[in-house]
Structure 1
Amino acid sequence: MCLLTEEENVNTLTLPARDRAQLTCASVRVDRGGRTVLHDVDIKVSPGSRWGVVGENGRGKSTLLHVLAGALAPDAGTVHLVGTLALAEQEMPAEDERTVGDFIDAYLADARAALRDLDAAAEALAEERPGAEQDYADALEAAQALDAWDADRRVDVALDGLGAVSDRARPLATLSVGQRYRIRLACLLGAEYDFLLLDEPTNHLDRAGLEYLTARLRAHSGGVVVVSHDRALLADVATTILDLDPTRDGRPAVYGGGYAGYREGREAELVRWEEEYEQQQTEHVRLKQALSEAQNRLSTGWRPDKGTGKHQRATRAGALVRSVHRRQDDLDRHKVTAPVPPQRFSMPDLPARTGVVLLRAEEVTVDGRLRHSTSLSLTSGDRLAVTGPNGAGKSTLLSVLAGRLAPGTGRVHRARKVRLHLLGQESPRATRRRARDLYEAHTARLVTAGVLKEGEVVGLGSLGLLTSRDAGKPVADLSMGQQRRLDLALAIAARPHVLLLDEPTNHLSIALVDELTEALHATEAAVVLATHDRQMQRDIAGWPHLALAERRPADTEAVNTH
């Protein structure tokens, strides 16, 4: 998606504003489905500033990018743009009849038009037409502003840096989602917009692509707003962090000092909030106890000792009533500003089968997709990290291990009644079924098939992945991150002995990634994980590694994790 300057009209090219560029939003509020998604958001992006937007899945991060891009009108507040802007959404169209060249041409349309206008102006100048000198000067200024002569080279450099397909005759329909995503990202970087709005840009990038993207964003002369779960990218790129998670005053928080400043500031804010909450809770309990004691005295006060006169009983009763009312008023005035506790992922106990080889692959290859002849063996508690550049065959290997793809050569042996589940890179096509219904139908099938016993079924709510409200929504209405959380819930619902994870951090929030990493270290199941997430790679550096790379078919590599 690409949206451009507010200052242009239909008869002129879209020219970058460079140093004059400005993108701001003030007091922005967005309501959806009776719920406020964004509230009192203020942001000012200038050339050279790089904003990171963080928050749990469903907090409105992608919505904010659409508001900034002008694709979504806020319910309150204002957005102001001077300059050119492009938005890279998380999703890519599934059907596209264009070629790679057509796609690139669309992003470089202004540069192409500027060069055509310059050629036409030069021809008019040579023919000494009236006004030709001014037309030529204007056309030259536009071409220089766009650096139009270098546009294709810039895109080619970006395509190479991101490991994207550069064959302009290649139909987009023949490419994977990841390949098409990298082409679009290369176009955005090569077109040199004043502002780049990027939604999870590190998805589908390998290490080389991540390093290239990081360098380009740091060097970008315009402004950048990036929504990302990638902790390494935020640490390397962001100068300011906008946190959309709940705060004490209900407003989004802004942290300077980059990602490190955000982590330090957020933790300090939560500590202060929790301390204030505990103090209020303690006072609330004290006031409730005082009210209860006053009510008890009132009930016993109507039965005074024998010999007590009516006047004395009435006087005492009135005082007790006033005491109860005073205690009740104190309690009513005391409002507890309770912090909204973040959801915590709770991995259920996954079973172990001691002394059993759960999964064994022997010299497997897949023609054109997995050129290694790869062997591995897994027992309960084993860990394996699969690494390598895009195209090396990581996803293919996991599909072979899961039984979704037959190997071209070699064989795969799975233990009898082994429970195995693969979490793929992308969510399946979203349905209109409610998330809760989809999950319950999935677990019911597992019980009917004898995979699980009734007592082994884990309720969706106990996993801490979706709120009750979100679990009641149609899957198609969930955000990408929430759909990914549902995918994870479905993966562990089967209580697998072997868990195969293909880029599991895609679309997930920072907090959930940290919790998932901790759970993977602790589980008794065997885990095979393929990831480009640099921080996760650091977190699992101690695991056995299987590094896939482009090699001759005769090359072999065997990995035994125990």
Structure 2
Amino acid sequence: MQRVGTLALATQEMPADHGHRTVGDVVDEWLAAVRAAMRRLDDATVALAEGRSGAGEEYGSALDLVQLLDAWDADRRVDVALEGLGAVTDRARPLSSLSVGQRYRVRLAVMLAAGDDFLLLDEPTNHLDRDALDFLTDRLRAFQGGVVVVSHDRALLADVAHTILDLDPTREGTPGVYGGGFAGYREGRRAELERWEAEYAQQQTERERLAQDLSNAQNRLISGWRPDKGTGKHQRATRAGSLARAVHRRQEDLERHQITAPAPPQRFHMPELSGRAGVTLVRAENVTVAERLTLPVDLSLSSGDRLVVTGPNGAGKSTLLAVLAATLAPTTGTVHLARRARVHLLRQESSRPLHRRARDVFAEHVADLVTAGLLKDDETVGLSSLGLLASRDANKRIGELSMGQQRRLDLACALAGSPHALLLDEPTNHLSIALVDELTEALRVTDAAVVVATHDRQMQRDIADWPRLELSARSGSEVPVEE
């Protein structure tokens, strides 16, 4: 592998480093080349003033490098990026005093300002609010060098990506490369999957036909073919032999038939969620939660209702959903759930036992719902029918699953309760782009009431026609939003 120019890498996490490093130290480390170029120019200036031999050439070379790096403007660029990303601007601040998100924003800001030729960014939109996301998007669009982004953020990919490399295998078992930006990727992937599924289904149908032909031939041979009366011995023997040869041919046909198209990846299947016409499923009146949802919220949900809850971190989105699900009591106000209303909440974080197998946890969850009288036997769904976990993954212990697979299990458990009202807290977290698209489409048409709390800009765009409740940073104030 050859590399020309400079390269900068930002991984998902930045360690706290419990020593004495400060924000300023991070700036100096990333601007080391700039600092070195400025020192070289200072030294060359002194040499030129003293009339040393060759000082003119060294000064010219040093000046060219400073201009190439735009070194005089480097610290101003850092300050602009720190402000734009909402990062800590106090360069004396110890890193150990910063949160994970604050440290990440500091590093990302300095990286954007450093002027490297190539940027490698791993989930760069983590820990960014709306203004910071807009700043990052504008910077990446204007960046003159190369950028490689690892991201599930569909809005970022739609805004900045030219080419998509999808590591989910194609039918050939290799990653797929798609031009035309994110729109080209989605269309290419959709068409590819449709062709894959159609060919696989066609080959399966042909194999089933050959298997049936073999079974029919074997049945005729085993049941004992009887010729019509008056048929000669020679003719009877010839006919019996032809039956045996037919069975042999059918066997060979079946063995030769190879299914060359591998089984396509699972697709999500939303269970049919029933509504309850004329019933107010959930009604919240003047609810607040001390220090978490301080300004009162009033809302009601009926079957088929849609609501998207937005707002910055700390505004109380998760708290509001927990109150609506009756898993958290409000400090003031009341929440009323209709009799026998099934309200299920998909939380941001899972608390399921890591030593248990996913399949067993799901089965136990469904059994508990039936035992409690919340679900009838004929309303239950199997884990495999949802298309969320492959069979091999369902048999794993939860601790062996990836974050995305654990999230899929949590979603499966929420849907297994056949909810009349489905409350989803950041549902796109850790989920693949394809699954998020399928889930969003299913949420639009289900008869259940759906409430989504999300920072995901693409999901917000996809459900922009839903009524919206925006909570401010003051924890629960309702801000008028155009629908």
The alpha-carbon distance between structure 1 residues 556 and 252, as it changes in their structure 2 partners (threshold 3 A), is closer
The alpha-carbon distance between structure 1 residues 142 and 108, as it changes in their structure 2 partners (threshold 3 A), is farther
Structure 2: how far apart are the matches of 1:382 and 1:557? 19
The alpha-carbon distance between structure 1 residues 446 and 175, as it changes in their structure 2 partners (threshold 3 A), is farther
The structure 2 residue matched to 1:115, chosen from 23, 35, 53, is: 35
Name the aligned partner's letter for residue 235 of structure 1.
A
> 1:335-354, aligned counterparts within 5 Å?
335-350=258-273, 354=278
> 1:127-526, aligned counterparts within 5 Å?
146-168=69-91, 178-296=101-219, 298-299=221-222, 303-305=226-228, 311-350=234-273, 354-356=278-280, 358-362=282-286, 364=288, 366-367=290-291, 370=293, 372-390=295-313, 392-399=315-322, 401=324, 410-415=332-337, 420-426=343-349, 431-443=354-366, 450=372, 452-453=374-375, 455=377, 458-526=381-449
Residue 513 of structure 1, CA deviation: 1.4
Instruction: Report the counterpart of residue 15 of structure 1 in structure 2.
Output: none
- The reply on whether 1:547 has 2:467 as its aligned counterpart is no
Structure 2: how far apart are the matches of 1:175 and 1:429? 30
Residue 179 of structure 1, CA deviation: 4.6
Structure 2: how far apart are the matches of 1:80 and 1:442? 53
Partners of 1:466 and 1:482 within 8 A in 2: yes
Residue 109 of structure 1, CA deviation: 0.9
Name the aligned partner's letter for residue 276 of structure 1.
E
The alpha-carbon distance between structure 1 residues 176 and 348, as it changes in their structure 2 partners (threshold 3 A), is farther
Q: How many residues align?
A: 474
User: So what's the TM-score if we normalise by structure 2?
Assistant: 0.79
Provide the secondary structure at the position in 2 that maps to 1:487.
Answer: helix
Structure 2: how far apart are the matches of 1:399 and 1:167? 37
CA displacement, residues 20-77 of structure 1 (integer Å, 9 cap, x when unaligned): xxxxxxxxxxxxxxxxxxxxxxxxxxxxxxxxxxxxxxxxxxxxxxxxxxxxxxxxxx
Structure 2: how far apart are the matches of 1:540 and 1:108? 43
Structure 2: how far apart are the matches of 1:138 and 1:431? 61
Structure 2: how far apart are the matches of 1:111 and 1:335? 59
Provide the secondary structure at the position in 1 that maps to 2:354.
Answer: coil
The structure 2 residue matched to 1:530, chosen from 430, 441, 453, is: 453
Provide the secondary structure at the position in 1 that maps to 2:31.
Answer: helix
Runs of at least 5 residues in structure 2 that lack an aligned partner in the other structure: none
Residue 360 of structure 1, CA deviation: 0.5
Runs of at least 5 residues in structure 1 that lack an aligned partner in the other structure: 1-78
Provide the secondary structure at the position in 2 that maps to 1:198.
Answer: strand
Partners of 1:111 and 1:146 within 8 A in 2: no
> Rg bigger for which structure?
2
CA displacement, residues 295-318 of structure 1 (integer Å, 9 cap, x when unaligned): 455457765456655555444444
User: So what's the TM-score if we normalise by structure 1?
Assistant: 0.69
> 1:31-70, aligned counterparts within 5 Å?
none
- The reply on whether 1:105 has 2:28 as its aligned counterpart is no
Greater alpha carbon shift after TM alignment, 209-218 vs 102-111: 102-111
The alpha-carbon distance between structure 1 residues 355 and 403, as it changes in their structure 2 partners (threshold 3 A), is closer
Provide the secondary structure at the position in 2 that maps to 1:385.
Answer: strand
Q: Which has the higher strand share?
A: 1
The alpha-carbon distance between structure 1 residues 403 and 84, as it changes in their structure 2 partners (threshold 3 A), is farther
Residue 240 of structure 1, CA deviation: 1.3
Provide the secondary structure at the position in 1 that maps to 2:411.
Answer: helix
Structure 2: how far apart are the matches of 1:211 and 1:509? 23
